[in-house]
Amino acid sequence: MSESSTNGIPSSTLSPDLENQGGSTLTFHNISYSVKVKSGFLCCRKTASKEVLRDLNGIMRPGLNAILGPTGSGKSSLLDILAARKDPHGLSGDILINGAPQPANFKCTSGYVVQDDVVMGTLTIRENLQFSAALRLPNSVKEQDRNERVNQIIKELGLSKVADSKVGTQFTRGVSGGERKRTNIGMELITDPTILFLDEPTTGLDASTANAVLLLLKRMAKQGKTIIFSIHQPRYSIFRLFDSLTLLAAGRMLYHGPAQQTITYFQSIGYECEPYNNPADFFLDIINGDSTAVTVNKTDEDNSAESVEEHIEYNTTLAEKLAEKYCNSTYYQETKSILENISLGNTKKTKAFFRQITYTNSFCHQLKWVSRRTFKNLVGNPQASIAQVVVTVFLGLVVGTIFFGLKNDTTGLQNRVGAMFFLTTNQCFSSISAIELFVVEKKIFIHEYISGYYGTAAYFISKLMADLIPIRTLPSIIFTCITYFMLGLKPTAEAFFIMLFTLTMVSYTATSMALAIATGHDVVAVANLFMTITFVFMIIFSGLLVNLTSIMSWLSWLKYFSIPRYGMTALQINELSGLNFCTNNTGWCTGDQYLKSQGIDVSTWGLWQNHVALACMTVIFLAISYLKLRFMKKFS
């Protein structure tokens, strides 16, 4: 191999198109990564350390740098480590950028395109790119300049014809898969990063679209960008675009060097690629021990003693043998020599610590843009909110019809209490829909948070403003306006607004509890089940199904955690106090007597202490939800 070099890097390992181009060079030195794996059940549960990557060394230069390997080979883990997006626990080794330690906020300054699409489907392509530009470019950049940057990227990515089309959701049809993938790439190109990471960029795309995406990346690479991506099984037209190839199996490096010299390397260690066979498939067949893809070179002294059967079954031993052969190759020795020269000039190396996240713009600027997008998403996806309003109107009419025209007698008293129980219970169970608030967009939030779009507080407050206020307040107003007058409750403005305020507070508190339970979960069904069980126990202590004064003392404390109890108590005081229900068949002549028999304080403070309790519970639940969101694991 040639010993001539460019910037200290042998020209033999550079693509001809990239030898004279500048750009960032990423080097990784002795990267090892292990995770804790738990096995067994309960008291017999054991924790063991599993090695994911072992002693990896390599150089990623400007161009297309592919990381190839079978499922479980560690390619996604290596990609995340290089992009500073992996949990640093269990990680060792050093990563340098142009020979200098990796910046602490590297994840915010580089680009990272995740495997799953993380663009807002209710927004257009242009709106998604404008959102990225507004939060990732400094506030000093004028709006006109930001828009010009967005238009430039739209043109470069070939999205001009669909720029003002919505990306699409499960309810509305949007752009194609390739256009969606290019939009994801465009979101990361806003800051013009010198290094761009992509996790399985061809996943979910047909062969033609996948080829088009890689051609786009190839054009960007020729402009001097360092593009690093993991890929599973590319077709030949995609493979031939690679400048560098890193081949992994069982966490070991089997090859790292020029992609077009990979076949020659494997030929030198006894593996012959058949004519018309896709090289990528050929490499994976070797790793998996497929004998039909293997030809043993009997003239090689190291391989003459090996039988074909040793290559049939894939296991760790085979990966170890292939990794050992690579370690003895000139490719590895040359790479190792370059890495040693680079690391000698650095006394301070990058260690495995939690790297910081920096934000380009202020909190107020973040809140403004995240809130704007959240409201656009709400307006652009009205199915859930409209359905909730329709259901609220229907239930309000049903309740109003069933309890229509309440009278001041024994039946009227019973019906009033029953109606109030239904009103508070309905408010609680309707809030279960809030479970999805922080679950559906979890992947989007994690990606944008790590990339430095916005902080947790800005995202949390914006979601509350878009859900807690409109989605929970409007149904309470509709429900109160319909039922209050159909039931014929107290004909005073004060009583009406107290009832409206009470139902709104119950809805806020129940919604806050739903958020506190669901935040951080991946499965909505689990949070839904837990919420339902919790509300059932709360209903038991609401004051209707059992007289709270008769409950044993060691259980009575549970009533203080019942949201329906506070709402129902406030509604009963508001409606029943001062009413006369005297008949020959009842033991209660007034509403106050009934309330006292239930252990309810009929004073003014007795009414408002329920609202104070609901407000305190709301604050506590929201604080729990925020803390769970704040400290949620955001690294893979």
Whole-number Å distance between alpha carbons of 11 and 23: 15
Name the percent of the chain lying above pLDDT 70.
Answer: 88
Which residues, in sequence order, are bridge partners of residue 56? 31
pLDDT digits (tens, 9 = 90+) for 151-173: 999 999 999 999 999 998 877 88
Residue 123 has pLDDT above 70, yes or no: yes
Name which residue leads in pLDDT, 525 or 76. 76
| CB neighbour list of residue 177: distance below 8 Å, 6 or more residues apart | 204, 205, 206, 209
Strand 226-231 with 195-199, pairing = parallel
Condensed to tens digits (0 to 9), the pLDDT of residues 1-29 reads 333 333 333 333 333 333 334 578 999 99
Q: Which residues pair with 49 in a beta bridge?
A: 36
Instruction: Report the percentage of the chain scoring pLDDT > 90.
Output: 44
pLDDT at 293: 53
Model confidence at 306: pLDDT above 80:
no
pLDDT grade for 318, boundaries at 50, 70 and 90: confident
Lowest-pLDDT choice from 167-176, 417-426, 506-515, 564-573: 167-176
Q: Nearest 5°: phi and psi at 56?
A: -100, 135
Q: Which residues of 518-535 are buried (b: 16+ CB within 10 A; e: fewer)?
A: bbbbeeeeebbeebeebb
Whether 233 contacts 203, CB under 8 Å: no
The rounded distance, in Å, linking the Cα atoms of 31 and 92 is 6
User: Structural domains in the chain?
Assistant: 59-110+193-290+316-342 (3.40.50.300), 116-192 (no CATH), 363-631 (no CATH)
Instruction: Return the top range by mean pLDDT from 88-92, 224-228, 374-378.
Output: 224-228
Highest mean pLDDT among 70-79, 535-544, 560-569, 611-620: 611-620
Q: What pLDDT is recorded for position 308?
A: 41
Q: What would the DSSP string read from start to end of 445-499?
A: HHHHHHTTS--HHHHHHHHHHHHTTHHHHHHHHHHHHHHHHHHT----HHHHHHH
Query: Is residue 247 over pLDDT 70?
Result: yes
Q: pLDDT value at position 343?
A: 67
Residue 566 has pLDDT above 80, yes or no: yes
What is the per-residue pLDDT across 29-45, written as a single tens digit (0 to 9) for each?
A: 999 999 888 766 656 66
Tokens of 399: 């309740």
446-502 residue pLDDT tens: 999 999 999 999 999 999 887 777 888 888 999 999 999 999 899 899 999 999 999
The average pLDDT across 604-612 equals 89
CA pair distance 351, 127, nearest whole angstrom = 38
Q: Mean pLDDT over all residues of the chain? A: 84
| Residue 300: band (very low, low, confident or very high) from pLDDT cuts 50, 70, 90 | very low
Inter-CA distances, 120 with 2, 123, 158, 287, Å: 49, 6, 20, 39
Whether the CA torsion 313, 314, 320, 325 is positive or negative: it is: positive
The tokens for 440 are 């559906």
> If DSSP codes are grouped into helix, strand and coil, which group holds residue 515?
helix
Report residue 636's pLDDT band, with 50, 70 and 90 as the boundaries.
Answer: low
Give CA–CA dist 249/292, Å, rounded.
Answer: 19
**Can you tell me the mean pLDDT for 105-131?**
91
Q: 387-427, pLDDT tens digit by residue?
A: 778 888 999 999 999 999 888 877 888 888 899 999 999 99
Place of tokens 């690294």: 635
Q: How big, in percent rounded to 5, are the helix, strand and coil portions of the chain?
A: 55, 10, 35
Q: What pTM was estimated for this model as a whole?
A: 0.84
d(CA 9, CA 339): 10
How many Cβ atoms sit within 10 Å of the Cβ of residue 48? Answer: 10
State residue 77's pLDDT score.
92
314 vs 57, more confident? 57
